[in-house]
Amino acid sequence: MSEETNSEGLEPIPADEREMGLTHYIPVWWSSMIVVQSFAVAFFAIHPQGALNLVQAIIAVGVSAFVIALFFVFNGLPGYETGIPFSAQTRSSFGVRGANIPNFMRAIPAIAWLGIGNWIGANAMNVITMTLWGFGNEFVYFGLFTLFNILLSIKGVTSIKWFDSIAAGVIIVLMSYTVYVVWTANTLPDTLVTYDGTWGMGFWTVIAASVGTVITGGLNASDMSRHLKPSDGSGNHIVGHLLGLAPPLLFMMVVGLVFGIFTGNPNPIEAIMNVAPSPLLGALMLIFVLTAQISTNLTMNILPPTHIFQDSFGVSWKTGVILTGILSVLTFPWVLFTSQWFFTFINFYALFLGPALGVMIADYWLVRKRDTDIPELYKRDESSKFWYWKGFSVAGVGSLVVGALVSVPLMEISWMIGLPTAFVTYTALRTYGVEEMFSTGDASVVADGGQSEQ
């Protein structure tokens, strides 16, 4: 065993050692899902900023929130049922070595978003101190914000649980008050209802973008679900994600719609200061931005790459957290966030995330029928039935590539195309025994027959 507890390690967490009931699990996700990206997508969705009228925008964000929750439910069940992390879960569908492909596809954007989240937090801190005391330095605050995230995460999942649980209440209260201030100070324009809008590509693009902002979290949902205490079969898992994910995502997107209607400013920091009754109150309202960035970073941007570094390099939890923090600084978020290449970066990694999720869901639900051989997942050599062809699953990697390629012509809705394509392709390849065709005498794979392990 490594120096960390089982909660921070990669071994399956037994049901009786898990530390989160629904009373903690739901608030943790509430605080984690208050993300600026969702705000921005909703802001640019509604007229006059975007192509949708009020009804279309509300339906789009509602559908998005529900779809995201479903992805977490379906792909997080292995973690909930068996206690395994994402980095082990991927071995059954991509192979012992091939698992590194989806693992690092998840780690790289998480590290970049950690840097961006810390930079947004630094901007909020700078506005607060400039407003209250007349001084500030974004780069100093960025360093302090990054250091605070690292120190808080080093203490492990328990500290994440308590911080995020408390943060959820603070965020919701402050954000609700902010919406109240904006709503009561303005009148809803009639054009929002009379405007024709669109049910075409513009409508589906909003759904694709809304889901795309947090689809990364759906990929490694098991990293959190493995900490949830089981109860009522899959009941806790389903309730925890439906109530933990859909409401805060819907809430944050509604906030984006309100600001899109009334402020015309897509920057939440500037928009809050513009609508605040006083500079002092505006500075206090910005505390929600600080709290939201920290809580989102802990679960969505620090936990995944840390586990992946533990898995790939054999480092401890503490070292993985520090490495994640250092790399987030080296992404130069103050450049990336304002660069013309920013959306190219997002679209590029999004091409692969949808297909990877499709492969993993197909593997667990259709190919293995929820019957994955856990001891075999932790064998890292040719004796593992998940070794496949030279450590790679031809079906898994091939389906990922196919799903990504067919998505290229329609990057704006890439996961909508790539996910079902990879899902169907992987299921078909496994059904017709493609792994056996490429296997070089691995009896365990042949015995597997491309189906569930017994």
Q: Tokens standing for 31?
A: 């605080």
Residue 389 φ/ψ region, left for φ over 0, alpha for ψ in the -120 to 50 degree band, beta for the rest: beta
Rounded to whole angstroms, the Cα distance separating 164 from 292 reads: 9
Q: Tokens standing for 213?
A: 């902002």
Q: Report the pLDDT value the prediction gives residue 453, as an integer from 0 to 100.
A: 43
Q: Tokens standing for 20?
A: 């989160």
> Which is more confidently placed, 444 or 146?
146
Partner residues linked to 46 by β-bridges: 52
- Convert the pLDDT of each residue in 41-80 to its tens digit: 888 888 888 889 889 999 999 999 999 999 999 999 999 9
- Convert the pLDDT of each residue in 364-422 to its tens digit: 999 999 988 999 999 999 999 999 999 999 999 999 999 999 999 988 888 999 999 99
Rounded to whole angstroms, the Cα distance separating 95 from 100 reads: 9
Banded pLDDT at 449 (limits 50, 70, 90): very low
Rounded to whole angstroms, the Cα distance separating 397 from 415 reads: 16
Q: Report the pLDDT value the prediction gives residue 452, as an integer from 0 to 100.
A: 41
Coil, strand or helix: which one is 35?
coil
Banded pLDDT at 213 (limits 50, 70, 90): confident
Q: Say which CATH architecture domain 22-440 belongs to.
A: Orthogonal Bundle (1.10)
Coil, strand or helix: which one is 136?
coil
Rounded to whole angstroms, the Cα distance separating 405 from 418 reads: 8
Q: What is the mean pLDDT of the chain?
A: 86
Quick one: average pLDDT of 197-220?
90
**CA dihedral sign, ordered 114, 120, 121, 122:** positive
For residue 327, the one-letter residue type is: L
The distance of Cα 235 from the centroid of its chain, to the nearest Å, equals: 22
Rounded to whole angstroms, the Cα distance separating 112 from 124 reads: 19
CB-CB contact of 149 with 298 (8 Å): yes
- Convert the pLDDT of each residue in 148-191 to its tens digit: 999 989 988 777 777 777 777 777 787 787 778 777 777 777 77
- Any long-range contacts for 306-311 (C-beta under 8 Å, 24+ apart)? 306/153, 307/10, 307/85, 307/86, 307/87, 307/220, 307/223, 308/86, 308/87, 308/103, 308/104, 308/106, 308/107, 309/107, 310/2, 310/9, 310/10, 310/87, 311/10, 311/85, 311/87, 311/88, 311/103
CB-CB contact of 380 with 336 (8 Å): no
* Buried-state track 357-388, b at ≥16 Cβ within 10 A, e below 16: bbbbbbbbbbbbeeebbeebbbbeeeebbbbb
CB-CB contact of 308 with 109 (8 Å): no
Question: What H or E segment, with its residue span, contains residue 114?
Answer: helix 100-133
Q: Report the pLDDT value the prediction gives residue 443, as an integer from 0 to 100.
A: 44
Rounded to whole angstroms, the Cα distance separating 79 from 88 reads: 10
- Convert the pLDDT of each residue in 421-441 to its tens digit: 999 999 999 999 998 888 754
Q: Tokens standing for 236?
A: 């806790």
Could you give the C-alpha distances from 437 to 312, 327, 393, in angstroms and in order? 28, 40, 11
Quick one: average pLDDT of 23-50?
83
Domain extents for the chain?
A: 22-440
Quick one: average pLDDT of 8-27?
90
Q: Report the pLDDT value the prediction gives residue 346, as an integer from 0 to 100.
A: 73
Banded pLDDT at 343 (limits 50, 70, 90): low
